[in-house]
Each structure stands twice: as C-alpha cells, then as structure tokens.
Amino acid sequence: MATVQTPIPFMQLRGGSSRGLYFKAVDLPADRAIRDRVLIAAMSGAGPEDKRQIDGLGGADPLTSKVAIVGVSTRAAADLDYEFVQVVVGGNATDETQNCGNLLAGVVPFAIEAGLLRADASETRARVFMLNSDSICEVVVQTPNGRVEYAGAARIDGAPGTAAPIVCNYMDTAGSACGELLPTGRLIDLFDGVSVTCIDNGMPVVLLRARDLGCTGYESPEQLNADTILKARLENIRLKAGPLMKLGDVQRKVVPKMTLIAPPTAGGVVHSRTFIPHVCHAAIGVLGAVSVATACVIPGTVTDGIAMLPIAGKVYSVEHPSGEFSVTLEIDHAGSLPVVRRAGLLRTARLLSSGKVFIPAGIWNKP
Ligand code: NQM
C-alpha cells in the first residue's frame, strides 16, 4: 500500500513567551529546500498559503509558528547545535535570517527529553551553538535527579504563572545577522524624514522615536495593529533600511524588527512597541530586547534624551506592552563605543506535547 503521509517525531514546547515545534536534525530531510517545505507543511499545511494555518500546527501567530532544529554539536566549543526557523504566517515561506531567544530556552530541555544530552544531577549547563547567529549561548537548566524540572518560582512577562528558571548567557551577539553592530556604519540614519538607529546585537532592529511617527509609544498593540497608515510608514522605512543593514531585500523576511521607543514609565530604561515586523508584539523578543537595551547604552543613537540608564548595576529593563524584560549586560567601556560582551537573560520553558507530525508523502516520502 502506498504511503500517503510521512510521520516525523517532534516535541512541542513553550519556550519563553513563544511556542514551537522542536525536531532532532536527523529526523528532517538533509536537503534544505525539501526541509523547508516539510516545515511549512507541518506548521501551515500543504495547501496554498493560509493565514489561519488550519491544516497545520502553527497556531496562526508569528510567536507560535516557530521551529527549533537541534542536534549534538560537532564543534569543540559547543554541546548542541540549534537552528531556528520562522514559518511565515500566511506567507508559504520560511525565514532563517533571525535567531530566536525564546525557543532557545526550550532547546536544552528538548535535548535532554529527546536523548541528545545527558542531564547532570542538579543543574545542567550546556553550550548551545546558534546557527542563525553563528554564536554561543550558555544555557543553565534545573535537572534534579537528572530529570528536567519544569515547575518553579520564576516569572517572565508574556507567559502565565511561574516555572523553573532557565538562565541564558549570550556571548558576542554583535552583528548576528548583519555582520556588524551598527550595520549602516552610522548611529543615526534618515529614512522618509524620520531619524532611526539600525542595530544588531542579536537581532536586527530599527529603533524609531514614537513621537516622530505621531504616536506616544504607549498605545496598545491592538491600537497600533489597527493603524494602517503607521504600519505602511514603518514598512516603507523597513524596506529601505534592510539593504543598508546588509540584509538584502527584506520584503519577504521577518527582519529587521521595527521598535518604537518612548521614555520609560515604570522604572525601566526605555518603553517599547516592537513590530515583528508587521504585527505588534504583545511583549518584545528576547534578542530584540538585547538590541534595544544596547542602543540605549550607546551615546548618539535615537535613544538619547529618551532612555534613562540605571545609576548602578548591570540590569537594563526594557518596558513593553505586557510588562518589562530585564537584560543583564556586561559592558566593556575601553573603546570609543561601549561593547556588550555578554547578555544574561532569564527564561522559562515547558514541554507541552510529544508525538509525530504527518507530512503528505508528495512533499517528503521518507525512505
Ligand atoms: O528576539 C519575536 C519572540 C521573538 C523572537 C520576534 C525572539 C528574540 O518573541 O530572540 O525571541 O522578534 O519575532 O519570540
């Protein structure tokens, strides 16, 4: 009898304030073009592009239409390799340009659950090589008695309740996708008469002062999502910024993200609204927050006169629509511009399901 569908083992985890499917690299096709079609079929279904993702597991939201591909690393400096794939909602496409710090939080729990990594007796420390950004993050997961602990007292904005802490220490994130921290070579660029700062410290982001676009920066995501004129202005700027940020034509890419900034209102460094890139985020992405916090510590960016830097300590709190995101930055002030050597973040994750996702054999007929 002909095989009509190909089963592929997967797990689904909440990682930080996102949710995604986690696959072992060896369970997916080696050919990247076929692999991407398989991931689109898993998330969105095998038919024409569909914003509802009704024929797949994506959840019809950029924050849930995400995939992590994990394997044992062959690099001496790392334990695991992690590649992030964004399945574009309604786009019949994947985008591997960006990294995702939320799904990263689930990578080590997944690797332990899937037998790729042995847990230590109380906590497991693993070095994850992130293929999208060519950089390493040290991830620390609670593993009492050698099993992943999901329950705990850590709270992160954008995910309900509390859970066991997962600490992510990012090393050398500058230029993750653009090659340079300030990829246009300038602290400020002018697009369509609006001053912006283009920065990539883990995530390519264009920062804009909300007031320069006629907003306060404190509007709700729903209000901003309904503002079609604002969204068109942001997209025009994004399309011009992308090539100058060395990202090429970004029409079908999910980077750069567009972040509106305003003065903080709750003791943080800055207030933010981030478009990822067409939908306003309910919070802010992990590495997006690192890029925004980094822009705040560099004099001469559009954050001047808006950001309020902490008087003491290393914690930079980026305010967003549903709370704040605390980023611990190790900054080297020796050169002409401050350099962020390490960014530490708290995340949580939870295993939600485990099983097989079925792909039409016409897309991949696994031998
Ligand atoms: O910035 C949203 C998210 C993200 C990405 C986005 C992320 C990150 O909230 O590291 O985690 O910017 O598309 O998961």
Q: What CATH number has the domain bearing residue 193?
A: 3.10.310.10
Query: How many angstroms separate the CA atoms of 151 and 163, rounded?
Result: 5
13, 14, 18: which to mutate for ligand 1, most atoms within 8 A of CB? 18
> Residue 47 above 80 pLDDT?
no
Together in a domain, 130 and 141: yes
Residue 72: other Cβ atoms inside 10 A: 14
Together in a domain, 157 and 219: no
Give the position, in ligand 1's atom list, of the atom nearest the Cα of 15: 14
Together in a domain, 121 and 221: no
Nearest CA to ligand 1 atom 12: 285
Distance 289 CA to ligand 1 centre (A): 9
Tell me the β-bridge partners of 330.
342
Nearest CA to ligand 1 atom 4: 285
Nearest CA to ligand 1 atom 9: 285
Compute the average pLDDT of residues 42-64.
92
Distance 249 CA to ligand 1 centre (A): 20
Distance 72 CA to ligand 1 centre (A): 24
Residue 190: other Cβ atoms inside 10 A: 11
Together in a domain, 65 and 160: yes
Confidence of residue 146 (pLDDT cuts 50, 70, 90): very high
250, 276, 327: which to mutate for ligand 1, most atoms within 8 A of CB? 276
Distance 257 CA to ligand 1 centre (A): 9
Distance 334 CA to ligand 1 centre (A): 30
Which pairs count as long-range contacts for 122-128, CB under 8 Å and 24+ apart, including other chains? Answer: 126/79, 126/80, 127/73, 127/77, 127/78, 127/79, 127/80, 128/78, 128/79, 128/80, 128/81, 128/82, 128/104
Where in the sequence is the domain holding 338, given as residue range(s)? 189-346
Together in a domain, 46 and 110: yes
Task: Say if 212 falls within a structural domain.
Answer: yes
Nearest CA to ligand 1 atom 3: 285
Domain count, the chain: 2
Task: Say if 140 falls within a structural domain.
Answer: yes
Residue 115: other Cβ atoms inside 10 A: 8
Query: What is the pLDDT, as a whole number, of residue 258?
Result: 98
86, 88, 98: which to mutate for ligand 1, most atoms within 8 A of CB? 98
Distance 3 CA to ligand 1 centre (A): 37
Distance 145 CA to ligand 1 centre (A): 32
Task: Say if 309 falls within a structural domain.
Answer: yes
Give the position, in ligand 1's atom list, of the atom nearest the Cα of 274: 12
Task: Say if 175 falls within a structural domain.
Answer: no
Nearest CA to ligand 1 atom 5: 285
Together in a domain, 157 and 305: no
Confidence of residue 2 (pLDDT cuts 50, 70, 90): low
Mean pLDDT of the chain, nearest integer: 95
Ligand 1 residue neighbourhood (C-beta within 6 Å): 17-18, 62-63, 100-102, 203, 257, 276, 285-288
Ranking 160-169, 292-301, 326-335 by mean pLDDT, the lowest is 326-335
Task: Say if 146 falls within a structural domain.
Answer: yes
> Residue 1 above 60 pLDDT?
no
Task: Say if 170 falls within a structural domain.
Answer: no
Together in a domain, 354 and 225: no
Query: How many angstroms separate the CA atoms of 317 and 59, rounded?
Result: 29
Nearest CA to ligand 1 atom 2: 285
Together in a domain, 275 and 360: no
Task: Say if 171 falls within a structural domain.
Answer: no
Query: What is the pLDDT, as a whole number, of residue 358?
Result: 97
> Residue 48 above 90 pLDDT?
no
Query: What is the pLDDT, as a whole number, of residue 3?
Result: 62
Together in a domain, 229 and 125: no
Nearest CA to ligand 1 atom 13: 276
Residue 9: other Cβ atoms inside 10 A: 14
- Total-model pTM: 0.91
Under 8 Å CB-to-CB from 40, ≥6 apart: which residues? 56, 87, 92, 93, 94
Query: How many angstroms separate the CA atoms of 331 and 338, rounded?
Result: 6
Under 8 Å CB-to-CB from 108, ≥6 apart: which residues? 80, 117, 124, 126, 128, 139, 141, 166
Give the position, in ligand 1's atom list, of the atom nearest the Cα of 86: 13
To which H or E segment does residue 80 belong?
strand 80-88
Distance 136 CA to ligand 1 centre (A): 17
89, 102, 156: which to mutate for ligand 1, most atoms within 8 A of CB? 102
Task: Say if 59 falls within a structural domain.
Answer: yes
Query: What is the pLDDT, as a whole number, of residue 228?
Result: 97
Together in a domain, 359 and 341: no
Question: In this structure, are strands 166-171 and 339-347 parallel, antiparallel, or unpaired?
Answer: antiparallel
Together in a domain, 36 and 105: yes
Together in a domain, 157 and 246: no
